[in-house]
């Protein structure tokens, strides 16, 4: 039976060998982590979009995030034109 430390070292060694033999794995992992981070920040910003729309007086009931973003953009364009 191997100890937890030995198991962790074995896993680390396997990952290290795998990465050294296949460098494209690192690139793929980096892209995946980047996508996950972007998705997490996008999901987190949904509340911000709804709060901003409400502050601007835009009704949010039954509207998608994309519809609200479009209305916020239109409202800001009208404000800039004045």
SS3 of 18-62: the string is HHHHCCHHHHHHHHHHHHHHHHHHHHHCHHHHHHHHHHCCCCCCC
**pLDDT surpassing 80 at residue 71:** yes
Question: Within this chain, do residues 35 and 55 fall inside the same structural domain, yes or no?
Answer: no
Question: Within this chain, do residues 16 and 36 fall inside the same structural domain, yes or no?
Answer: yes
Give this prediction's pTM: 0.44
Question: Within this chain, do residues 82 and 49 fall inside the same structural domain, yes or no?
Answer: yes
Question: Within this chain, do residues 49 and 31 fall inside the same structural domain, yes or no?
Answer: no
Question: Within this chain, do residues 27 and 51 fall inside the same structural domain, yes or no?
Answer: no
**pLDDT surpassing 70 at residue 79:** no
Question: Within this chain, do residues 49 and 32 fall inside the same structural domain, yes or no?
Answer: no
Give the domain extent around 61: 45-82
Tokens of 21: 């033999």
Q: Tell me how many domains the chain contains.
A: 2
Question: Within this chain, do residues 68 and 36 fall inside the same structural domain, yes or no?
Answer: no
For 20-50, the pLDDT digits (tens) are 877 787 778 778 878 877 776 665 567 788 8
């Amino acid at each position: 039976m191997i100890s937890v430390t030995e198991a962790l070292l074995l896993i680390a060694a396997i990952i290290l060998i795998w990465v050294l033999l296949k460098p494209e794995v690192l690139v793929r992992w980096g892209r995946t982590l980047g996508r996950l981070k972007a998705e997490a920040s996008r999901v987190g910003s949904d509340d911000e979009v709804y709060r901003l729309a409400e502050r601007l007086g835009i009704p949010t009931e039954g509207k998608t995030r994309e519809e609200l973003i479009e209305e916020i953009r239109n409202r800001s364009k009208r404000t800039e034109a004045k």
